[in-house]
Structure 1
Amino acid sequence: MTLARSREPGDRERLLTGIIDLCEAGRARGEPTHPDVQALLNSIFMTLVVEAERDIRHRLSERLADADWAPSALINIMALDEIEIARPIIARSPVLNDHDLVRLLVQATLEHQIEIARRPRLSPPVIDAIIERDEPAVLTALAANDTAEISDQAMQKLVDRSRDVVALRSPLARHPRMSSELAEQLYVLVGHALREALATRFHLDTVRMQGALEEALRAAHRGETDIEVGPIEQDEDREDMERSLIEKLDSAGQLRPGYLLRVLREGRLQLFIMALARLGEFEPPQIRRAIDSAKPELLALACSAVGIDRSVFPTILEHVRQLNGGRPGGGDEGLRRANSAFGPFTPDIAGMAFRQAVGAV
């Protein structure tokens, strides 16, 4: 009970570790968990993990990555966390199904998508989704995944794409699902060493293949082919991923005011903006205008509207200024004005005042 009441990170981690040990011990004995008990455990896990510090979440991700009993909602939230925390979950969790992985491809950053493509024994539906998205770096990670269940049709699409994406060629040449027919198509695209490897592995007619290669080169010189070196784009849509994370936390009832300070301590200003907007039913651009202004009292009103205590606000303001180039401005005088936002009025009144004041900025 002492650990459950404590807010200290170390005590929270010991409590989480103890719960995991109990779950694993019961699993090892083959004892089924009563649905009511499982629901309670799920709720406890969600509350503790969402509020945990980054280092604790990192260690927990390693513990929970192989747990088939782990709550699905929790695993899906952890899969959207920072990549170092999400990586073990994405790579190993048996709780993540094909639907979860396809959704992650849409919601997560490029780094997360690459980890999905590297996941062992990747199934055809997920592979098809990766190919449809056509992100070169993710396609290259898929081509290097020897255990992925890539169909002949999907392999053909990868070989076709390798005409533009040079990085695909080497892993495709070595892939166990490469066929002799596709090897002939790839032969004219790769360098000498890979041509020799393909010819040896698939017993290709090197004289005929050399003729095909020379014809491909002549066509390239005449401008009759679109074979070229394409850049690997690095388009990380982190904002969509963070928006999805906030929605999941809110749907699970785990988006609370304390989360705001945690993400600021981790240097995640955009996540703070989205979380504060969601908690206060504001628009993210309103929060952005407030923190970019010279009036910290605007941010104070927004924080007051979601239940942040006056004593916590100076810490929040300090973190926001550190992450936002010294804004909101106002200095110590601005902080004094901000304290007046935590007056004897309800959060609803603070929210109304914020919307009105930020509209004038």
Structure 2
Amino acid sequence: MADTDALKDMVRVARDGTPEARAKLMETLNAVCLSSSKTLTDRERDLVFEILTTIVKQVEVNVRQALSKELAERDNVPKELILTLASDVFDVAQPVLMKSRLLEDSDLIQLVLDQAEHHHIAIAQRRNLTGDVSESLVGTSNRRVVTSLLKNKSAEIHEQTMHSLVRDAEKIEEYHEPLLERHELDADMARKMYGFVGEALRNYIVDRFEELDPELDDAVSRAVNDALQDDIYGGDELDYDPDNVHATGYRPHPRTLLKALKLGDVFRFEELFRDLTDLTETSVTRVLYDSGPETLAIVCKASGIDTFTFGDMICYLHGGGEAESYRKSSQYLKTIDYFERIDSAGAEKVLRAWREAPAESW
């Protein structure tokens, strides 16, 4: 038990002493009164915290930092003192931001509003964050903060927030892997991400979500078959059966188009595209090079090409040799969105007109 009169003297020093005296006092309180080996009465503890609250803003950073580390995991501390430390410079605030159980959701959300990036990252790394706090962190739109949150497996993230993050991930590659590892990610979210992540993560999606519809499985199967082909074109044209396309969901011929593009064989690609669409050579040139990606989207939709094959195709055609970089561009996302909104029946009608009267249709 500490001497109460001595503690009262410490209070007077805290109120009236020099900065040097206050710093020494803080160190003494931290080392003696707050040590786990010391037992204080409730009154003595109140006096200690009264002193600390009085002088905490007036001592050196290293002293405040030591105090923050000492109090971070204690529950018998005045909340006012914890909030003061949490709002301090980052080196002081970090221990209580990450560990103090006295900080409630409302406190953490207010700290997100009031403080800057480093404070946000420390909050994002807290154990067992609630969905409301996670939502406030996502609301900062800071990539480093959001990535830290996504990597915190103990944090809860609301479904609505996850949908928002999936949309953001179309343009932010750093979110891809940690998002796919979140337990809150459902098959619908994964299906959306499949359209813009890299090949390795696509395979991860299919492995994790076995219930995904056959369209995704077929897309992966095509990629695997591409890799296993010994022959450059692997007899794909012989496998192409237009009467059986919708029954099997498998289009060897479009896969051959992609293979030609990957190999840089543009003339072969144009020839295959002409065979697939039954357009004239002039019309093919207009579709591929003169009319923009929207026209290509209509023709591909009418020809039964799926979103993923179409996406790969425009990356090779418009990516300037940087297909994966183009996949992250706003133009790519805009074109994919346009493609997905095209009505297949309407696209087929347009393509028939281009076939039957190419001169009048352009």
Give the alignment's TM-score, normalised by structure 2: 0.54
Aligned to 2:100: 93
Deviates more, 1:143-152 or 1:133-142: 133-142
Aligned to 1:198: 205
User: How do 1:27-176 and structure 2 match up within 5 A?
Assistant: 33=42, 40-176=47-183
Kindly state the Cα deviation for residue 181 of structure 1 after the two structures are TM-superposed.
Answer: 2.0
Kindly state the Cα deviation for residue 56 of structure 1 after the two structures are TM-superposed.
Answer: 1.7
| RCO higher in structure (CA 8 A, sep ≥6) | 1
Give the conservation status (yes or no) of the 8 Å contact 1:16–1:45: no
After superposition, the C-alpha distances for 1:159-207 in whole angstroms (9 at most, x for unaligned) are 1111122211111111222222211212222222222222212224543
Give the conservation status (yes or no) of the 8 Å contact 1:124–1:149: yes
Structure 1 position 214 matched with structure 2 position 309: yes
Whole-Å Cα distance in 2 between the matches of residues 40 and 83 of structure 1? 27
Deviates more, 1:187-196 or 1:1-10: 1-10
Kindly state the Cα deviation for residue 226 of structure 1 after the two structures are TM-superposed.
Answer: 4.2
2:192 to 179, 185, 190: 185
Q: How many residue pairs get matched?
A: 221
Cα 1:132–1:23 shift into 2, 3 Å: farther
Give the conservation status (yes or no) of the 8 Å contact 1:13–1:56: yes
Cα 1:200–1:11 shift into 2, 3 Å: same
What is the one-letter code of the residue matched to 2:113?
A: V
Structure 2 stretches of 5 or more lacking a match? 1-5, 221-305, 319-330, 337-362
1:13 to 21, 27, 30: 27
What is the one-letter code of the residue matched to 1:213?
A: F
What is the one-letter code of the residue matched to 1:152?
A: E
SS in 2 for 1:68: coil
What is the one-letter code of the residue matched to 1:214?
A: T
SS in 2 for 1:176: coil
Structure 1 stretches of 5 or more lacking a match? 229-361
Large movers: runs of 4+ above 6 Å? 219-222
After superposition, the C-alpha distances for 1:24-79 in whole angstroms (9 at most, x for unaligned) are 846xxxx8x36xx6654432121232222222222221111101122211111211
Cα 1:190–1:198 shift into 2, 3 Å: same
CA RMSD between the two structures: 3.0
Instruction: State the identity %.
Output: 25
Give the conservation status (yes or no) of the 8 Å contact 2:135–2:158: no
Whole-Å Cα distance in 1 between the matches of residues 190 and 125 of structure 2? 23
Whole-Å Cα distance in 1 between the matches of residues 313 and 38 of structure 2? 64
Give the alignment's TM-score, normalised by structure 1: 0.54
